[in-house]
Amino acid sequence: MGDMNQFENAAAIPPRSTAAERWLHLFGLLLLDGALLAAAIGISILLRFETGFRASGASGDFFGYLPVYEAVFLPVLLLGGFYRIYWKYAGLHEIVLAFILCAASGGIVYIFNGIFSFGFSRAVIVMAAVFAALAIVASRIFGRGVRYLHRTALHMKNRDHYKRVMIIGAGSGGANALALYKKKTYENIIPVLFVDDDPAKRSYRFDNVPVLGGRRDIPGLAMKHNIQEIVISVNPANIVNMDELIQLCRQTTCRIRLLAGIDNIDKNQTAKAWFKDLDIADFLMRNEEHLDLSSVSAYLKDKTVLITGGGGSIGSELCRQVMRFSPKLLVIFDIYENNAYELECELRQNFNGSCREEVVIGSIRDIRRLQEVFAKYKPEVVFHAAAHKHVPLMEKSYGEAIKNNIFGTRNLLEVSAASGVERFVMLSTDKAVNPTNIMGATKRINEMMVQVFAKESGMKCMMVRFGNVLGSHGSVIPLFEMQIKKGGPVTVTHPDIVRYFMTIPEAAQLVLQAGSFAQNGALYALDMGEPIRIIDLAEKIIRFYGYEPNVDMPIKITGLRPGEKLYEELISEKELQRLIATENKKIFVVPTDNIDEKLFYERLARLEREVEGGVFEGETRKAVIQRLIRELVPCYTPNGNGGKQEQKPEPVQAQQNQREDIAPSAMPSYQAQSGI
């Protein structure tokens, strides 16, 4: 989390007013400070000489000091930016600045006294500077003190009408949460106490809010102090034994919220956007890599960005992340209007209209609609996140999967290239590696297609391959949550099935980062960490909701579904041998083989003819389509049997594409899985 200075910097924001009001306000402050300076001089002379203003050894002491001090102190304060401070939100930085400016003014008077022989007492010069600083700062914070006492009195009077909050984490994150709660937006909330596992902090107080215990004290403290809301101010990935912490919080009746990371929130967002309800994705999250903001901003700032599937799980998060970089226009392209509309409302609220966004309804299968949209908005950067992705459903509706995922992507590539798009980034999946289902095979064909367009077109094309994301539409986590809320059972297809996971924000950030590398035709793979057994994930989620697995919430094994693997591979064994590191330790380049474009297009055309006008029905027709897909993707093994094909078609990869401009580097933390 950032430190308190991020909030204290708000002190420099002037209140809204007319120019005349600002000049009048400045004149009043100069008069006030002139009077305080005179008082500081008078007190200093009295303390030094103890004989009144006209002390022996100096003629006209007070009235000799006064014009010199006024002529030096007030211009120094003015030029030093002191009168641009908005003291309602001032902090330590502004107080230190006041003392520095007064010390500098005293130093100038001291120098003038030596040059012009004013006969000023050196002790008076020093004391007057100190007293002036104290008086000026005190005058500024007096109003805050009055407001604090007034607010405290209101809290005491109306305590039953205020929401009482416990903050977990008495570090910089907790201080940030407290600062936000103290802002006017949260006047109906009282931060009551902190909880921290560090015993050394138990005697600390933050703005008069005490640290009263550790995590094991949470249930008791919540009951004793009538807490209604618990805020976790620490990144869940950095919390030791997060499971236990959640269980302790769940023992209370409090709402559990999370302070979002400062680095991940745009400054244009409203303060309320900094707090969110804790969900299972936060509970399971791992440490996230910070974006190289400069490289991402370089290709997004002041650009027109179009995101297909912008209303989906990954697409919507890409939209949120892109908005942080101030694009000229964000075009949210989606066929499903409800999600896109909700996202548009969210972006307008959170970013206060600071960036322009436009929702466009359409399908990537409709090339004329794409041409209309691209002609109107002229996008410069395209992120392609639209796809049918549900494996069992696509096994049944294989024709729709092929039309949308493959030929919709072809439409998008053709229109993007013809419209002068500078950069095209396609999102791929680990299911494209040695695919056993139609969906994965379509994504592998898409990877090959982007490679071909990268070579033939003038735009920079790249692909980003990653695994499952936590909480995406149709994924296992929302299913588990729904089953738990209905009382169970929680269904798992196989006790040994494993998957790679990362959070939606992390996936979106790494996609943006990969897009900044701009290596034409590159296939990037994201380091997903270690694979997770789905049954272990189910048990974690059950505990998150306060149940004990197979005690009061049963787990049922249902068997693998059509096209489903026991394990997924982020990279194949062949790709692993030639993997290349990038500047980001979680992003790797997967070297690709050259593609025989003529053979690729011939086989793609045969597949299209069969899908659009085939005469076979049911399983017979599916077998024909699977054979045509295998001509394009020889490693495609339907039904996940993993067996070798008797006759392997001529590969469309002609030869290994050696890249001499990048030296081999370290391998990622994961390895291609060969079995369980």
Residue 79, pLDDT score: 85
For 311-326, the pLDDT digits (tens) are 998 999 999 999 989 8
Question: Token pair of 464, please?
Answer: 């980003």
Instruction: Tell me the pLDDT tens digit for each residue of 393-421.
Output: 999 899 999 999 999 999 999 999 999 99
If one compares 185 and 146, the residue with the highest pLDDT of the two is 146
- pLDDT at res. 86: 63
Instruction: With cut-offs at 50, 70 and 90, classify the pLDDT of residue 354.
Output: low
Q: Give phi and psi for 641, each to the nearest 5.
A: -80, -15
Distance CA 484, CA 465 (A): 31
**Rounded distance between C-alpha atoms, residue 66 and residue 18, angstroms:** 33
For the cut 70, the answer to whether the pLDDT of residue 176 exceeds it is yes
Q: How far apart, in whole angstroms, are the C-alpha atoms of residue 367 and residue 11?
A: 52
pLDDT exceeds cutoff 60 at 486: yes
Instruction: Find the mean pLDDT for residues 425-442.
Output: 92
Q: Tell me what the mean pLDDT of segment 29-34 comes to.
A: 81
Helix or strand holding residue 428 (H, E)? strand 423-429
Distance (Å, rounded) from C-alpha 251 to C-alpha 244?
A: 11
Q: Rounded CA gap, 43 and 129, in Å?
A: 11
Count Cβ neighbours within 10 Å for each residue of 52-69 and write b for 16 or more, e otherwise: ebebeebeebbebbbebb
pLDDT at position 377, please? 95
Catalogue the active-site residues: 431
Distant-in-sequence, close-in-space partners of 327: CB < 8 Å, separation ≥ 6: 300, 301, 302, 303, 304, 305, 355
Q: Count Cβ neighbours within 10 Å for each residue of 216-229 and write b for 16 or more, e otherwise.
A: eebbebbeeeebbb
Least confident of 108-122, 196-210, 270-284: 270-284
The pLDDT assigned to 108 comes to: 86
Confidence of residue 652 (pLDDT cuts 50, 70, 90): low
Residue 8 is predicted with a pLDDT of 37
Structure tokens at 517: 């590398």
Helix axes 618-632, 597-613, angle to 10 degrees: 170
Q: What is the pLDDT of residue 380?
A: 96
Instruction: Measure the CA–CA gap between 355 and 332, rounded to whole angstroms.
Output: 13
- Greater confidence (545 vs 674) lies with 545
Query: Which residue has better confidence, 425 or 84?
Result: 425
Q: Which of 59-73, 82-96, 516-530, 647-661 shows the lowest mean pLDDT across its residues? A: 647-661
Is pLDDT of 550 > 50?
yes
Least confident range from 9-18, 440-449, 557-566: namely 9-18
> Average pLDDT, stretch 601-611?
92
Q: Which of 432, 566, 427, 571 is nearest to 499 (CA)?
A: 566
Q: Check whether 266 has a pLDDT greater than 60.
A: no
Does residue 2 register a pLDDT over 50? no
The pTM assigned to this predicted structure is 0.64
What is the identity of the amino acid at 223? M
Q: State residue 268's pLDDT score.
A: 44
- Given this model, what pLDDT does residue 287 score? 59
Handedness of CA 26, 27, 32, 38 (dihedral sign): positive
> DSSP characters for 587-624?
EEEE--EEE-HHHHHHHHHHHHHHHHH----HHHHHHH
d(CA 406, CA 411): 9
pLDDT band at 355 (very low <50, low <70, confident <90, very high): confident
Q: Model confidence at 663, in pLDDT bands (50, 70, 90)?
A: very low
Q: How far is CA 121 from CA 57, 109, 191, in A?
A: 9, 11, 50
Residue 100 has pLDDT above 70, yes or no: yes
Report the candidate in 361, 405, 378 with the shortest Cα–Cα distance to residue 305.
378
Residue 342 predicted with pLDDT over 50: yes
Contact 367, 411 (CB under 8 A): yes
CA angle 470, 471, 472 (to 5 degrees): 100
What's the mean pLDDT in 123-141?
82
Q: Give the mean pLDDT of 610-630.
A: 79
574 has a pLDDT exceeding 50: yes
**Residue 274: is its pLDDT beyond 60?**
yes
Confidence of residue 202 (pLDDT cuts 50, 70, 90): confident
Q: Is the pLDDT of residue 22 over 60?
A: yes
- Please report, rounded to a whole number, the percentage of residues in the chain having pLDDT higher than 70: 79
pLDDT at 611 over 70: yes
The lowest-confidence range among 184-198, 237-251, 284-298, 368-382 is 284-298
Kindly state the percentage of the chain with pLDDT values over 90.
27
The whole-angstrom separation of Cα 409 and Cα 428 is 12
**According to the model, what pLDDT value does residue 489 have?**
93
Give burial (CB, 10 Å; 0-12/13-18/19+) of 639.
Answer: middle
Which SS3 state, helix, strand or coil, does residue 352 take? Answer: coil
Domains and CATH numbers, the chain: 5-154 (no CATH), 159-278 (3.40.50.720), 293-468+502-528+569-656 (3.40.50.720)
Q: Contact, 671 vs 576, CB < 8 A?
A: yes
The mean pLDDT value for 81-93 works out to 69
Dihedral angle sign, alpha carbons of residues 63, 69, 75, 77: negative
In this structure, of 63-72, 232-241, 531-540, the range with the lowest mean pLDDT score is 232-241
DSSP-based three-state secondary structure for 537: helix
pLDDT at position 359 over 90: yes
Nearest by Cα to 527 from 280, 287, 261: 287
Cα distance between residue 631 and residue 110, in whole Å: 89
Both tokens assigned to 602 = 């011939």
pLDDT class of 122 with cuts at 50, 70, 90: confident
pLDDT at 152 over 80: no
Q: How far apart are CA 250 and CA 637, in angstroms?
A: 46
Indicate the pLDDT class of residue 18, thresholds 50, 70 and 90.
Answer: low
Q: What is the pLDDT of residue 283?
A: 64
CA gap 459, 456 in Å, rounded: 9
DSSP-derived secondary structure letter, 407: I
Given a cut of 50, whether residue 12 has pLDDT beyond it is: no
- Give me the torsion for CA of 593, 596, 601, 604, rounded to 10°: -50
The answer to whether residues 131 and 123 touch, using CB atoms and an 8 Å cutoff, is no
Query: Which pairs count as long-range contacts for 76-82, CB under 8 Å and 24+ apart, including other chains?
Result: 76/101, 76/104, 76/105, 76/108, 77/33, 77/101, 77/102, 77/105, 77/136, 78/30, 80/104, 81/12
Of the chain, the end-to-end C-alpha distance in Å amounts to: 39
pLDDT the model gives residue 316: 92
Average pLDDT over the chain reads 79
